[in-house]
Amino acid sequence: MFIVELTYPGTWLDYEDDEWSWEMRKLVQMLENPLTEACLALALFEQQRAKPRDKPDREQWEEDSNRRREIEKELEAELNVDPFDPEDRQELYSSVERELRLEKWESGELPKQYSHRLIFMHAKSFLFAVDRIEKILGAIAEKDGVPDEVVEAKDAFEDIFPDLRGVRNTVAHIEDRGRGLDHRKEDLDLKPVQNRLVNAPGGGALILESLNGNEFGSTMSDGHYGEVEISLENIVKVCECIQNVIDALEWSGPQMHYPR
């Protein structure tokens, strides 16, 4: 796991307005938690991405088949199954499958639907972490008296993730986007999409929570398909933006370092 670092030139901000200094220092240090979460989400995302895809395993298939037969024999007597009654046979089959699944889950094996969603969960954790960073940077840049370098750092961050807000809003309002509605709850005008997963040059494709390599994407409220790249390269750029904000301010006292 790659750990990013920040250096504070001092412990407190050195400005005449104490209230301004206190609020600014609080905002700057608020960036640490979402930066930490973005790093952790990236590590967990890459961990899931590196796992080999499930492939047919003959040994496991044979083991499951044998266990099915054992469970079937146990349940036939318990359920008093009529071997010539289709409904009885179907009930037996369903009971055997459920019993086998329960045994697997109790042994620690995740259901496929659970394991499949893990990488999406980490992708969304990354998305919301960097979204929080963007919002905090925006609040910092809006304060009166901030140096120009702070605004430049905020703008540089937005250049890293140009589709961040649109993708994040779709994830947060999946109930609307999933029905083909924009932020006004009007019908989406779906724009053309062409990538490795979708080829819709004429538009009309609604895409929700898609992973294209390390790009997490969704159709945004304006009908365009947007993506957010989940990568170490982007984490490094984010860290540089935050460090530039820190360095643009006047500090006093002993240096501080992140993480501790």
Average pLDDT over residues 65-72: 90
Average pLDDT over residues 93-117: 92
pLDDT of residue 52: 82
Does the pLDDT at position 72 exceed 80? yes
Q: Per-residue confidence at 108, pLDDT binned at 50, 70, 90?
A: very high
DSSP assignment letter at 57: -
Output the average pLDDT for the chain.
94
pLDDT of residue 174: 96
* CA distance readout (Å), 225 to 29, 95, 173, 228, 234: 33, 43, 15, 11, 20
Measure the CA–CA gap between 98 and 104, rounded to whole angstroms: 10
Measure the CA–CA gap between 146 and 139, rounded to whole angstroms: 11
Q: Which of 150, 149, 128 is nearest to 139 (CA)?
A: 150
Q: Residue 223: left (phi > 0), alpha (psi -120 to 50), or beta?
A: left
| List of residues 6+ apart from 88 with CB closer than 8 A | 79, 81, 82
Average pLDDT over residues 72-96: 84
Residue with tokens 């501080």: 256
pLDDT of residue 225: 96
Question: Tens of pLDDT along 180-198?
Answer: 999 999 999 999 999 888 9
Measure the CA–CA gap between 181 and 120, rounded to whole angstroms: 22
Question: Tens of pLDDT along 200-234?
Answer: 999 999 999 999 999 999 999 999 999 999 999 99
Does the pLDDT at position 77 exceed 80? no
* CA distance readout (Å), 7 to 43, 193, 229: 22, 42, 26
Angle between helices 164-172 and 112-142 (to 10 degrees): 130
pLDDT of residue 61: 87
pLDDT of residue 78: 81
Average pLDDT over residues 97-125: 94
pLDDT of residue 118: 96
pLDDT of residue 132: 98
Q: Per-residue confidence at 92, pLDDT binned at 50, 70, 90?
A: confident
Percent residues over pLDDT 90 in the chain: 79
pLDDT of residue 2: 86
Average pLDDT over residues 155-161: 98
Q: What is the pTM of this model?
A: 0.89
pLDDT of residue 114: 94
Where are the domains positioned within the chain?
9-51+117-258, 58-112
Question: Tens of pLDDT along 12-67?
Answer: 999 999 999 999 999 999 999 999 999 999 999 999 999 887 666 788 889 989 99
Q: 178-192 as b/e, with b when 16 or more CB fall inside 10 Å?
A: eeeebeeeeebebbe
Peptide bond into 259 cis (omega under 30): yes
What would you measure as the largest C-alpha separation in the chain, in angstroms?
90
